[in-house]
Amino acid sequence: MKTKLVLLYGGKSAEHEVSLQTALSVINALDLNKFEALPVYITNDGEWVQGPEITHKLEFADQLRFSAEDKFQLAEKVEEVSTGFGISPAEVTENHENTVVFPLLHGPNGEDGTVQGLLEVLNVPYVGNGVLASAAAMDKIVMKKVFADAGIPQLPAVAVRAIDWRNYRDEMVADMETALEYPMFVKPANLGSSVGIGKAENRDGLYAAMDEAFLYDRRVVVEQGVVAREIELAVLGNDMPVCSVPGEILPKGSKAVFYDYKAKYQDNDTTLVIPAEVSEEVENKLKEYAVQAFLGLDASGLVRADFFVTDKNEIYLNEVNTMPGFTPVSMYPLLWQASGLPYDKLIEQLVELGLERYEAKSHLKYRLED
């Protein structure tokens, strides 16, 4: 019997388009002899629209945009068209025997624990991290507190609320300049894919970066800049996670001041070096911290851990991502490919891990015996 794989993608997030690319990549890598692929598109307005079962490879991500009113082509032949239809989330899992949900959602309203909580309430197996890990890792301020408690080294940072920025911006800047040195990196607390991130080289740049970041979130984190290499590891598993080889992000030219959204998804202005050239001692330490971060969040399925490594081999954990970029040319799958696990098998293993976690939780007691 095929496993029915419900693919959730799109979503109410600035990372909507990234999610569509992820969904396209996963769908085209699926072994359709093993999986019944059922697409569920979440529009920018939050409407859930179910498309027809996917029975062949797709050419464009736009083929995965459905509407309850409009027709969209989901076939190789022009004359074959299909219509999506609006559904409630509960309908996705009405008959969930042999069903697994794969949330391919990036950013708020998908990667932050909201959808995971819904799937928990609906009592359906799903791929990837649960509510706690998703929510804590999505919020950079909370995440830093978890890692500090675990004793993982991080760069100094200052958290700022929008209300404080509106009322006391000059005082807040003075506090930042006391606690940190330029350059500083300004990040919305709850976005990924480097959306809304700015680099401030001076006070004017700091004001501008803060204003930009607050367009995307009501809380912002300001971090100390550092001259360092950007090294990433992929973590896979549940209670006994394992790490991939490390990879490094290198800018191709001088256009990108850091690995921002444009460099990641539009300019192709970076090079990924896999495996990264680091000493055995540094690699072992990176893996130790990556696993500590995974376990500290009570993560499951997948995590990408991003580090800074200085020329003195000082290591700082920058952040982790609980739903990292997941196209075949994204860092997370490439790290596993270099570690001997190809993209299609990685997807299958993640589905197995989701089922494993669901099975383990199904044995917990939810009521007291009389």
pLDDT digits (tens, 9 = 90+) for 81-119: 455 777 788 777 666 678 999 999 988 888 899 999 999
Residue 40 lies in a domain: yes
Choose the final residue of a domain: 184, 200, 224.
224
Residue 366 lies in a domain: no
pLDDT at 175: 95
pLDDT at 85: 73
**CATH number, residue 256:** 3.30.470.20
Q: Which domain holds residue 308?
A: 140-151+226-360
- Gap between the Cα atoms of 232 and 50, Å rounded: 35
Comparing C-alpha atoms, which of 329, 331, 362, 326 is closest to residue 347? 326
**CATH number, residue 174:** 3.30.1490.20
Comparing C-alpha atoms, which of 225, 198, 223 is closest to residue 212? 198
pLDDT at 70: 56
Tell me the pLDDT tens digit for each residue of 334-362.
999 999 999 999 999 999 999 999 999 98
Tokens of 134: 């998703």
Indicate if 116 and 161 belong to the same structural domain. no
Residue 238 lies in a domain: yes
Is residue 75 exposed (0-12), middle (13-18) or buried (19+ Cβ within 10 Å)? Answer: middle
Indicate if 177 and 276 belong to the same structural domain. no
Indicate if 283 and 146 belong to the same structural domain. yes
Indicate if 147 and 116 belong to the same structural domain. no
* Contacts of 25 by beta carbon, 8 Å cutoff, 6+ apart: 326, 327, 328, 343
Instruction: List the beta bridge partners of residue 126.
Output: 101
Instruction: List the beta bridge partners of residue 247.
Output: 232
Residue 280 lies in a domain: yes
Choose the final residue of a domain: 171, 199, 224.
224
Instruction: State which residues of the chain have pLDDT below 50.
Output: 71-81, 193, 254-256, 258-267
CA atoms within 13 A on the CB side of 85: 5
Indicate if 112 and 166 belong to the same structural domain. no
Q: Quote the radius of gyration of the chain (alpha carbons, Å).
A: 21
pLDDT at 15: 86
Indicate if 144 and 290 belong to the same structural domain. yes
Residue 367 lies in a domain: no
Question: β-strand 157-161 against 219-224: which pairing, if any?
Answer: antiparallel
Residue 61 lies in a domain: yes
pLDDT at 150: 94
Indicate if 204 and 246 belong to the same structural domain. no
Residue 369 lies in a domain: no
- Gap between the Cα atoms of 370 and 366, Å rounded: 13
Q: Which amino acid is at 350?
A: L
Residue 349 lies in a domain: yes
pLDDT at 266: 46
Choose the final residue of a domain: 178, 208, 224.
224
Secondary structure of residue 347 in the 3-state scheme: helix
Indicate if 266 and 349 belong to the same structural domain. yes
**CATH number, residue 44:** 3.40.50.20
Number of Cβ within a 10 Å radius of residue 277? 11
Indicate if 165 and 306 belong to the same structural domain. no
Indicate if 95 and 17 belong to the same structural domain. yes
Q: In the chain, what is the straight-line distance between the N-terminal and C-terminal CA atoms, in Å?
A: 39
Indicate if 219 and 198 belong to the same structural domain. yes
Give this prediction's pTM. Answer: 0.88
For the chain, what is the domain count? 3
Indicate if 237 and 300 belong to the same structural domain. yes
